[in-house]
Structure 1
Amino acid sequence: MDGIWQTIWDSFWIRALRDPFRYPVDFNERIFIGYLATSLILAVGVYIYLRRHKPDATPRGLFAFLFPKQVYLHKSAIADYKFFLVDRIVFVLMAPIALVYVEPLIGMTDALLTRVLGPVSSPWDPGSPWVMGLAMVSQILLVDFLLFYMHYLCHKLPLLWEFHKVHHSAEVMTPLTAYRMHPLEVVFNMNVTAIFTGLLLGLFGYLTNGGRPGFEILGINAIQFAFYVVGFNLRHSHVPLGYGSIVSQLLVSPWMHQVHHSRETRHLDMNMGFIFSFWDRMFGTLYVPGKDEADYALGLTTGEHVHFHGVLAMYFRPFANLARRWFKPAKAA
């Protein structure tokens, strides 16, 4: 028996060590090479536009524009690379004990509704286009609102902000900056979205007599897939891809998210949406950058970002900050 457990443990560690290298070839991951490729194509389009309209402010060479050394060799970017490799291993190790899984919740919700309300007399056809469309849209709207609101809370609640600082401590951004998030924040986001997604899909399972309706591409919600394809990886980059003032009232452009990372006063706590920007408009946090608004510094307004460019600092500085906040000696009268 000890030998069996040792084999399981060893194979678990092997999977954990391999996991960081899975991301570019897994279409379920944000940095899948296909999504990176479409973002690169869009970045070339932005370069052509800028060379035509702002030649003096744009590098002559395409490669210099796409992969500037001052971004990809910055100490903040190097910290992202190191953190990604370490944190993906940590995530695999902690996932079995820290995460709520959607599939069991779907079955439990479906079974509970059946027991309490009884079977649906005329279940919906899970293959009907309108049922599939309703399931797809309701799921993406639910998840997107949850991501927006949890992000909003991370900016408004001091406890959550200390952990969210890890993400905002980036002084430059690359696609790997999307993974520059403290594990506790990741667990918080994933568990909340998993719980509500499980409840929603369980409801659709009940209404369709066990069906799993929805339009999917490669197993991903079709709207989310489209979002990944049309430039998700430019959100964490230096490439200012905007959608224009009208479309930006509906969708969060990469440029809008880049502005969210600004430490300029006018940008603070703005553009917290993931896909849709109308949540920001509802909460008064929408900010559409102007066409000449390109020069702003990234990081934390306090200058604390310089203390986060190490893997251990990203893990433990939030706890140290909270300890100082909670156990700070009272000032003498």
Structure 2
Amino acid sequence: MEFIIESLLTPLGFFSDPNRRLYWVYLLFSLFVFLFFVFKKNIYCEIKSKAMLNKDSLWLDVKLWLFNSVIRSFVGLFAFISLSATVLLFVKFLYIMLPHWSPLQINYTIVTVFLTFVSFVVFDFLRFFQHYLMHKVSFLWHFHQVHHSATYLTPITLYRMHPVENLISAFRRIGGQTFVFGSFMFIFGSSVNVYDIIGVNAISFVANFALSNLRHSPLPISFGLLEKVFISPAQHQLHHSSNPKLTHSNYGVVLSLWDKLWGTLVLYNKQDIKYGVKNLHLQNQGFYHQLITPFSLCLQQYKSFAPNLKSFIRYPFNLIAKTGENIHEV
């Protein structure tokens, strides 16, 4: 009974956990910036009006956040055990492959700085690449559209995810952490760590503090020329546009360098943005509808490929979007 109560109270922990984007320190700073821009530009009434018009979308954000956070609390312990086990197994595998390896004797501070930087860059790239695949592989896009179906953005929109996408993200996190921390344990010995601020990678803390919550907000804050290096709130808002040319751009989380390399970088230039998706099935903001529809769309797509044995065998690799627009408007 105690565990159930703790699970139901899990959403409250998002505001006290520095690893969460909704940590109260990040939110407080974002709120100051938000209010500054709102009153400077005198757009309070406009923002309030849009929020009221999109209240169904706002409520779905909250429902999915609460639903996913409770589910995550039930699997959280398993995920922690899995991460510990996979790191140790990966280190053991490396020793089997290189049985005569001896850990390098390098200054602890140097190793810590290096690990802090490498872990941030690798994890940021993996988030970018997962996001890229969620758009380019159509059966993944069916689930990711739940996030893009938001017609109004708030910090809680970050957690407007289908549980299947949350599961994929969990595997990505475990895989990335296993590779990075396992590799460093093998190369430098078991006593490796990152520089952190209240338990968070120092670089990630700064990134979360620096307006990350305004990525999902009605304020198009641009970084100017720095957008060629860092994803700004305005760039991510372009990504949430219902215009496919903008939707399939700016996949990065912190660094925009990955988008530059993949040819998907779009700089903010005061473009008009209408949020949402073209998919009529997912314009419905019903909670159960959003949970079930992606499975229905996947089943429809599977049936369309099944008659063709060659396509069936190659499934899901033949589901990679050929034109982007066609599949994303199904």
| TM-score, normalised relative to structure 2 | 0.85
Work out the CA distance in 1 between the residues paired with 2:176 and 2:65.
Answer: 28
Q: What amino acid does structure 2 have at the position aligned with 1:18? A: L
Q: What amino acid does structure 2 have at the position aligned with 1:228? A: N
Cα deviation 1:112-133 (Å, max 9, x = unaligned): 43453335264223x32x2222
Cα deviation 1:268-288 (Å, max 9, x = unaligned): 301000110010011110001
Cα deviation 1:23-81 (Å, max 9, x = unaligned): 11222211011110111122234336x53xxxxxx42x5xx47x625326621001111
Tell me the residue number matched to 1:300.
277
Q: What amino acid does structure 2 have at the position aligned with 1:123? A: Q
Tell me the residue number matched to 1:247.
226
Change (3 A) 1:183 1:110: same
Work out the CA distance in 1 between the residues paired with 2:248 and 2:80.
Answer: 28
CA contact (8 A) 2:281 2:293 kept: no
Match among 86, 106, 114 for residue 124 of structure 1: 106
Work out the CA distance in 2 between the residues paired with 1:298 and 1:99.
Answer: 36
Change (3 A) 1:304 1:171: farther
Tell me the residue number matched to 1:186.
166
Give identity over the alignment, percent: 27
Q: Does residue 273 of the first structure (1) align with residue 252 of the second (2)?
A: yes
Report deviation, 1:297: 0.8
Change (3 A) 1:288 1:122: closer
Report deviation, 1:313: 1.7
Report deviation, 1:104: 2.6
Q: Does residue 238 of the first structure (1) align with residue 238 of the second (2)?
A: no
Q: What amino acid does structure 2 have at the position aligned with 1:27? A: P
Work out the CA distance in 1 between the residues paired with 2:210 and 2:236.
Answer: 14
Tell me the residue number matched to 2:287.
311
Tell me the residue number matched to 1:282.
261
Q: What amino acid does structure 2 have at the position aligned with 1:327? A: K
CA contact (8 A) 1:38 1:229 kept: yes
Report deviation, 1:265: 4.1
Cα deviation 1:285-309 (Å, max 9, x = unaligned): 000111x32x3210112344422x1
Cα deviation 1:142-166 (Å, max 9, x = unaligned): 1111111111111111110011011
CA contact (8 A) 1:148 1:272 kept: yes
Structure 2 SS opposite 1:242: coil
CA contact (8 A) 1:204 1:213 kept: no
Q: What amino acid does structure 1 have at the position aligned with 2:286? A: G
Change (3 A) 1:86 1:193: closer
Work out the CA distance in 2 between the residues paired with 1:298 and 1:173.
Answer: 8
Match among 44, 47, 50 for residue 38 of structure 2: 47
Structure 2 SS opposite 1:42: helix
Which consecutive unaligned segments of at least 5 residues does structure 2 have? 308-330
CA contact (8 A) 1:252 1:271 kept: yes
Match among 10, 13, 25 for residue 34 of structure 1: 25
Work out the CA distance in 2 between the residues paired with 1:213 and 1:98.
Answer: 20
Residue correspondences, number: 305
Work out the CA distance in 2 between the residues paired with 1:124 and 1:95.
Answer: 34
CA contact (8 A) 1:178 1:236 kept: yes
Report deviation, 1:328: 5.3
Change (3 A) 1:12 1:110: same
Structure 1 SS opposite 2:264: coil
Change (3 A) 1:112 1:322: closer
Which consecutive unaligned segments of at least 5 residues does structure 1 have? 1-9, 52-57
Tell me the residue number matched to 1:4.
none
Work out the CA distance in 2 between the residues paired with 1:39 and 1:312.
Answer: 31
Match among 55, 60, 73 for residue 74 of structure 1: 55
Work out the CA distance in 1 between the residues paired with 2:186 and 2:297.
Answer: 46
Tell me the residue number matched to 1:325.
301
Q: Does residue 211 of the first structure (1) align with residue 191 of the second (2)?
A: yes
Change (3 A) 1:330 1:145: closer
CA contact (8 A) 1:123 1:208 kept: yes
Tell me the residue number matched to 1:55.
none
Tell me the residue number matched to 2:125.
145
- Of 26-35 and 107-116, deviating more is 107-116
Q: What's the RMSD between the two structures over aligned residues?
A: 2.4
CA contact (8 A) 1:175 1:236 kept: yes
CA contact (8 A) 1:155 1:164 kept: yes
Structure 2 SS opposite 1:27: coil
Cα deviation 1:90-147 (Å, max 9, x = unaligned): 222344567874333333333443453335264223x32x222211111111111111
Work out the CA distance in 1 between the residues paired with 2:306 and 2:67.
Answer: 38
CA contact (8 A) 2:18 2:199 kept: no
Change (3 A) 1:270 1:121: closer
